[in-house]
Structure formats: C-alpha cells, structure tokens
C-alpha cells in the first residue's frame, strides 16, 4: 500500500485524516516535514499534494514534498502573491493548479451520495454558529478551536 501522509499538529484534524485514509501523520514543518515525507515515500516524494493552508510556508513545503512529475493542488485561500516556481522547480516538471471548488460542476453526481448517507460531509463540521456569529466562527477556525464551522442562519 502506498503511503498517504497527512501533515498537521492538531489531533482533531489528524485523527479525522486517519479516518479518511491517512497512513501516517507528520507533525514536522518546513525542511524537517519535507524530509519526513521523503522518508515515507522511499525518497521520491508524494505523487499528489493538496495545499490547504494558503501560507507561503505551506506552498514551499508542498513543492519540497511532491515528487518530480507530481501535482500540487492549491485549495487553500492563498495569503501571498507569488509562488516560488523558479527554474529548478520548473525542471522538476511539477504541475501546480488551484482554485475554488466548482461545486456546481459535480453536485448532481455527489448529492445523491450525500442524501443516501454514502458520503457524510458533515463530519468536518465541529461547530455551528448563527449568521451574526460568523466572525467568531472564522476566529475559531484560525485559532484551531474548530475544524470547520457550519453557519445556521
């Protein structure tokens, strides 16, 4: 079985990652985190990286952890303007893509699975707020007191 590492330090998130199939949890960051991914993948790096944080450190770690010819998907809201894709990175033939989830493109296929219980997207929500509490919900996620916040008007 291929290694499917998850990187994080917050047990609520990493425990859920294991439930979703993560084989290993890596708490190290930066060069140490990249080295740990490389160790778990026989030195090659991983085929695919989802960069879900949006920080410069996260994209740099993603580039370090992905194997040559691999793919990085940026789904985090980027908090920086430039991506470090210099000549050395381009020569590794890495594909970098990203954007917001095009929910309308796949909702017809996925909604029946959600409605019949095959997929339970609600597992990521661990806090509910009212519309007037949305700023508190964002603060809770930023402070890692909540995984994802559901807004219930």
pLDDT tens column, 108-138: 998 999 899 998 888 889 899 999 999 999 9
Q: Are residues 68 and 13 part of one domain?
A: yes
- pTM, whole model, 2 decimals? 0.76
**How confident is residue 2, by pLDDT bands cut at 50, 70 and 90?**
low
Check residue 5 and give its pLDDT.
67
Same domain? For 82 and 28 the reply is: yes
Check whether residue 94 and residue 107 sit in a common domain.
no
Q: Give the integer Cα–Cα distance in Å for 24 and 40.
A: 8
The verdict on 93 and 118 lying in the same domain is: no
Domain region containing 50: 5-98
Dihedral sign for Cα 52, 58, 60, 66, please: negative
Residues 87 and 40 in one domain: yes
Do 32 and 77 share a structural domain? yes
């Amino acid at each position: 079985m291929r290694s499917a590492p998850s990187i994080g330090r917050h047990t609520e998130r990493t425990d859920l990652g294991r439930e979703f199939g993560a084989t290993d949890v890596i708490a190290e960051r930066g060069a140490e985190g990249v080295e740990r991914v490389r160790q778990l993948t026989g030195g090659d790096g991983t085929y695919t990286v989802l960069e879900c944080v949006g920080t410069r450190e996260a994209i740099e770690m993603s580039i370090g952890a992905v194997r040559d010819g691999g793919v990085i998907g940026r789904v985090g809201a980027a908090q920086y303007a430039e991506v470090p894709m210099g000549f050395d990175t381009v020569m590794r033939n890495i594909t970098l893509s990203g954007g917001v989830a095009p929910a309308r493109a796949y909702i017809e296929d996925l909604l029946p699975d959600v409605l019949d219980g095959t997929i339970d997207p609600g597992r990521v929500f661990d806090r509910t707020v009212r519309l007037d509490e949305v700023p508190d919900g964002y603060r809770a996620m930023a402070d890692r007191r909540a995984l994802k916040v559901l807004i219930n008007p």
